[in-house]
Every structure is written in structure tokens, then in C-alpha cells.
Amino acid sequence: MADVRAQSFFGVEWYQVVGSSILFNLIINSVVPHMVLAATSSVTSFKAWFVGYFELAPTQSSLNRLYAKRSSFNLEGRYAFVLTTVFICNSFSHVMPIMPWLACFCFTLLYRIDKNNIVNYYTDVAEKKYGAQMAHAAAHLFPGSCLLHCLVGIVLGELTA
């Protein structure tokens, strides 16, 4: 009976429908924000080139602003992404052992791209001097992922016992 219930929860169909979708969602979620940034920066660069080439800027200062326009570093978005990835990977690492490796991939990608962008693209990183609230909020949420990890492990152990 327990095996039947475990099969119904984490059977082959579950992996094909839910498991693969969660993995795919995580990979897409780790790539899409950077693609959005790349797209917006491309549009901005093209716009600056277009305005400069055809001399459409009314003043030199407006042209300078257009060239200097950069995207702002979204620290809370990075925190949210890291928390989401950690929660999902911790929750399903019992049933999908690839999850920790996927988390490593997502965080490595985030680190590499952000490192490059902070050095070359973002201009407001040094200007933003936030308090510790964001770090405290993230630190308070983190233990919840361990709780979820244990909960899923207990449920899985109960089903397969």
C-alpha cells in the first residue's frame, strides 16, 4: 500500500510531468533575467548609436545621458532568485539528486554574469548603500528551506516505508 502511494506521488509520471518541468523552470529562471538585461542593453546601445549617427539629439548633454544610461543593479531580485533556487532545490533534493548540482550551476552562472556586469555595466552599485534589512530578511527565510527539506524527506520516508 505504501509503495503504491509512493508510486502515485513520485512515480515515473511525476518525474515526466512535474520533475522535468521544475528542472526546466529553474534553468530558464536562471537564464531569462540575464537575457532580459542583454536585450535591454542592446536596445539602449542601438538607440544611442542611432541618435548619435543621425544627429537626432538636441543637445550634447542629452546625448551624453543616452550614452551613460545603464541598468541598475537589482539586489533584492538577486536575493529573491537565490532564495527561490535554494528552497526549490532543498525541497526536491530527496527525489531529484540532481538538484544540488543544478543549484551550483545556477549560482555559478549568476556569479559569473553579475561579476562581469558589475565591473563593466552597472554604474550604481557603489551608490546604493542599503541597510542590513535585506540580509536579515534573507537570513531569516533561509532556515525555512531546511524545514521543507526535512518535511519532504519525512513524507517520502513515510510513503516508502
d(CA 146, CA 84): 13
Kindly list the residues in this chain that would bind another protein in the complex (CB under 8 A). 5, 8-9, 12-14, 16-18, 21-22, 24-26, 28-29, 32-33, 36, 74-77, 79-81, 83-84, 87-88, 91-92, 130-134, 136-138, 141
Q: Which is nearer to another protein, 66 or 73 (CB)?
A: 73
Instruction: Kindly state the smallest distance separating residue 21's Cβ from another protein, in Å.
Output: 6
Residues 6+ apart with CB under 8 A from 62: none
Q: Which is nearer to another protein, 57 or 134 (CB)?
A: 134
Taking CA atoms, 121 is separated from 75, 78, 108, 130, 144, in Å, by 15, 16, 19, 20, 34
Instruction: Kindly state the smallest distance separating residue 49's Cβ from another protein, in Å.
Output: 26
- Joined together, the cell numbers standing for residue 84 give 527561490
Instruction: Kindly state the smallest distance separating residue 130's Cβ from another protein, in Å.
Output: 5
Report whether 145 contacts 99 (CB < 8 A). Answer: no
Q: Which is nearer to another protein, 30 or 66 (CB)?
A: 30
Residues 6+ apart with CB under 8 A from 95: 10, 19, 152, 156
Q: Which is nearer to another protein, 80 or 113 (CB)?
A: 80
